[in-house]
Amino acid sequence: MKEKRTRIIVIVGPTASGKSDLALRLVLWLRKQAKHPERVKRIEGLPTDTEIISADSRQVYRGLDIGTGKVTKKEQKLVPHWLIDVANPKNPAVAGFTVDNFKKMAEQAIKDIVSRGKIPIVVGGTGLYIDALVYGINFPEVPPNPKLRLNFNRLSAEKLFDKLRKIDPKRAETIEPKNKRRLIRALEILESGQKIPVLDTRYNILDTRYSVLWLGLNPKDLYERISKRLDQRLKKGLIAEIKHLLYSHILTNKRIDELGLAYREVPRYLRGEIKKEEMRNNILKSEINYAKRQMTWFKRNKKIKWLRNEKEAMRLCRSFLGRHHL
């Protein structure tokens, strides 16, 4: 008899699509079921609580709160969240937090959550992290090559991106074109003779130790949501947050630029290189482009059930959690 696979729920989608809000509502819904034994009795094996694992490559860093849209401390007390504030933002991803770090920490989190009779919900927009976890993908351990990096650093991000696009067009589709650090790392791995795993067409045959309910959010008014959320973050203190990171010498200009999106544009405004309106427009444009890259990644996975409303999510969860998967 085959061993039962661990059941997990995965909620994906582009930035500002409402993933975190949906995850929190699902948790509260599950807890509500526990207050009605007659409902639970009809659904054999239905867990009555859950915990959330964040799959966001920026939310792992301490101090990057408003700009990454972390859930509030109050929400974290309401529902335990894993993989938030687990890394020092000073460290570049190559030497500090990597996709492999995420995979190992998330696997441990799932074991912990399941051991207490709860269901793990993985929530995030970093497709690479999620796929590495779900499908157990191991990434090449290529050590830094100082000489190669020095040569690549002399090139502009545009030239590095063109170089990557010629060597590995699939990887180029999902990487931020202006992020020199990630471009250099991708090229460094390729120059070593190893390939960067890219999951794009074989989801139907990839194996996993988990039984997964894939839920996706991609609202029609996404760009308006991104714009509205940006204004909310500016009012909340986004500029002050980034100013503190810079002026308190927590992060260097180079390092904060590597983080991209608002963390790239706000410092330009603080240095007087651009006006506030241009800063906002640049952030908005970069976040919309980021959302497009995220959807490019997620659309490859035909297992994702793209939700029309919250009720559909509840119905799918009820059915999924009530079944026994082998």
* pTM for this prediction: 0.84
Q: Is 96 annotated as a binding residue?
A: no
Let me know if 72 is exposed, middle or buried by CB neighbors in 10 A (0-12, 13-18, 19+).
exposed
Per-residue pLDDT at 144 exceeds 80: no
- Amino acid letter for position 37: P
Domain segments of the chain as ranges: 6-139+196-221+301-321, 146-191, 222-294
- In this structure, what are the phi and psi dihedrals at residue 3, rounded to the nearest 5 degrees? -75, 140
Q: Is 13 annotated as a binding residue?
A: yes
Q: What is the pLDDT of residue 18?
A: 96
Q: Is 18 annotated as a binding residue?
A: yes
- Amino acid letter for position 190: L
Q: Is 276 annotated as a binding residue?
A: no
Please state the rounded mean pLDDT for residues 232-248: 97
The answer to whether the beta carbons of residues 127 and 65 sit under 8 Å apart is no
Q: What 3 state SS string does the chain have?
A: CCCCCEEEEEEECCCCCCHHHHHHHHHHHHHHHHCCHHHHHCCCCCCCCEEEEECCCCCCECCCCCCCCCCCHHHHHHCCEECCCCECCCCCCCCCCCHHHHHHHHHHHHHHHHHCCCEEEEEECCHHHHHHHHHCCCCCCCCCCHHHHHHHHCCCHHHHHHHHHHHCHHHHCCCCCCCHHHHHHHHHHHHCCCCCCCCCCCCCCCCCCEEEEEEECCCCCHHHHHHHHHHHHHHHCHHHHHHHHHHCCCCCHHHHHHCCCHHHHHHHHHCCCCCHHHHHHHHHHHHHHHHHHHHHHHCCCCCCEECCCHHHHHHHHHHHHCCCCC
Query: Distance between CA 22 and CA 301 in Å, rounded?
Result: 20
The answer to whether the beta carbons of residues 58 and 70 sit under 8 Å apart is no
Q: What is the pLDDT of residue 93?
A: 45
Handedness of CA 34, 40, 43, 44 (dihedral sign): positive
Per-residue pLDDT at 256 exceeds 80: yes
- The CATH H-level superfamily of 6-139+196-221+301-321 is P-loop containing nucleotide triphosphate hydrolases (3.40.50.300)
CA dihedral of residues 112, 113, 114, 120 (deg, nearest 10):
-140
Q: Is 156 annotated as a binding residue?
A: no
Q: Is 19 annotated as a binding residue?
A: yes
Confidence of residue 324 (pLDDT cuts 50, 70, 90): very low
Per-residue pLDDT at 323 exceeds 80: no
Per-residue pLDDT at 182 exceeds 80: no
Mean pLDDT of the chain: 87
pLDDT digits (tens, 9 = 90+) for 263-316: 999 999 999 999 999 999 999 999 999 999 999 999 989 999 999 999 999 999
Per-residue pLDDT at 39 exceeds 60: no
Per-residue pLDDT at 37 exceeds 80: no
Q: Is 34 annotated as a binding residue?
A: no
pLDDT digits (tens, 9 = 90+) for 147-168: 888 888 889 889 999 999 998 8
CATH architecture of 222-294: Orthogonal Bundle (1.10)
Give the number of residues written for the chain.
326
Q: What is the pLDDT of residue 96?
A: 60
Q: Is 262 annotated as a binding residue?
A: no
The answer to whether the beta carbons of residues 131 and 60 sit under 8 Å apart is no
Per-residue pLDDT at 191 exceeds 90: no
Please state the rounded mean pLDDT for residues 32-42: 59
Residue 179: name the closest of 201, 200, 158, 194 by CA.
158
